[in-house]
Structure 1
Amino acid sequence: MQPDQLVKQIEFIKEIDKIKYIQRKTKLFNSDRNENDAEHSWHLAMMAIVLVQHANVPVDLLKVLKMLLIHDIVEIDAGDTFIYDSQKNHTNTNEERLAAERIFGLLPAEQAAEFIAIWEEFEASQTDEAKFARSMDRLEPLLQNASNNGGTWQEFGVDYAKVYEKKKVINYGSATIWQYAEQLINDSVERGILKKAAL
């Protein structure tokens, strides 16, 4: 390995430390402290290791882990977009694209290209690995909100229809986990911590 490659990699490693400061809207389980992006990414990676047997089809776990550890790094520049934000759509924005190019661009060219490709694959959510990774990303905040008496649902007035719409993509990665998640959503309505809009 060339010394200049190592220098670039160390610069990237130092830069991504900033992800620890990106606060999410969701809070830790049974807590009033907001989760940060680094905690979120670590938790998703652990969830994937534990739950991979429930994927709809066999997946490349290492690729899934890379997606989960990489996918929110762009938020260092772009910030966290709340999944239920009514002003800004939670999609691959131009700000995130610029962030990916800048931050992953700190790496040697071959690694930068790999990381950008992995990030793009997760965002596109078309491959089996991306679908399973996305199911982890949607499951964790659901578990958190259920543990926090509604959490961000209560705080931001998010109703059942919005939650169901955002969470049903879990099914594309794991029908088994979606069955569990759907029951948890319905249980949350029964408990009164997730409201159904009046007809």
Structure 2
Amino acid sequence: MQEIVDFILELEKLKGVTRKNKPIGLSRYENSAEHSWQIAMLAISLQQYAAEPVNIDRVVAMLLIHDIGEIDTGDTIVFAEGGWEERKAAEFVAVTRIFGLLPGSSGEYFLSLWQEFELGQTAEARFANAMDRAMPALLNLNNNGQSWRENNISYERVVDRLADQIQNGCPALWQYLKVRLDTAHAKGWFGA
């Protein structure tokens, strides 16, 4: 019991990992725990639109753990360029440590889910990755491009980073977003 409690209390630190998007209507930035909860809810809500049938319980589990490594590494904006291999290696070290707090095979299970998400080769991982990529765009589209403007992210960079992953996991969501991204571009909601 104590090992599980220690693990859960370690996860508390995810609430202190600040991201680059602001929750709609708030002046503060969201944290990674809020992001994980929200994309899990997005996945449950959009399950019927997945590119192929998915085990939603597995998708939700992936989404709830996919950013746990950020407890040690911090968050990196999805539109960052370069250095991804180093960041992912550091996250792997972090999740290995954190999941290692769990007894028995529990930690191995979570680590395998994290790796499945990162590889993006299963239907569940593709759908989960689509949700992860879509949520920051949805927030920006409802905050007049807040983080795109603050971080000088161009329309082209957003489309290049999001299109394939969202389309592969949830084509209907990409169709929905693309129209709105084009409208936001016309309104000047992107950086240079």
TM-score range, shorter chain: over 0.9
* Partners of 1:90 and 1:172 in 2: CA distance: 22
**Residues 121-160 of structure 1: CA deviation (Å, up to 9, x unaligned):** 0011111000100111111100111111111110111101
User: Which residue in the other structure is 2:34 paired with?
Assistant: 39
Is 1:194 the counterpart of 2:165 in the alignment? no
Q: Structure 1 or 2: larger strand share?
A: 1
Determine which structure has more spread, i.e. the larger CA radius of gyration. Answer: 1
Q: Percent of pairs identical after alignment?
A: 41
* Amino acid paired to 2:4: Q
User: Which residue in the other structure is 2:133 paired with?
Assistant: 138
User: Which residue in the other structure is 1:95 paired with?
Assistant: 90
Number of matched pairs: 191
* Partners of 2:171 and 2:7 in 1: CA distance: 37
* Partners of 2:169 and 2:145 in 1: CA distance: 24
Poorly superposed stretches of 4+, deviation over 3 Å: none
The answer to whether the 8 Å contact 1:31/1:148 transfers is no
* Coordinate RMSD, CA, aligned: 1.5
Is 1:20 the counterpart of 2:8 in the alignment? no
Structure 2 vs 1, CA of residues 62 and 165 (structure 1 numbering), >3 Å: closer, same or farther? same
User: Which residue in the other structure is 1:170 paired with?
Assistant: 166
In structure 2, which of residues 120, 123, 141 is the aligned counterpart of residue 125 of structure 1? 120
Structure 1 position 93, deviation (Å): 1.8
Gaps of 5+ in 1: 1-5
Gaps of 5+ in 2: none
Structure 1 position 90, deviation (Å): 7.4
* Partners of 1:128 and 1:117 in 2: CA distance: 15
TM-score, with length taken from structure 1: 0.91
Structure 2 vs 1, CA of residues 91 and 159 (structure 1 numbering), >3 Å: closer, same or farther? farther
Structure 1 position 87, deviation (Å): 5.0
The answer to whether the 8 Å contact 1:83/1:90 transfers is no
* Partners of 1:90 and 1:28 in 2: CA distance: 29
TM-score, with length taken from structure 2: 0.95
Is 1:57 the counterpart of 2:52 in the alignment? yes
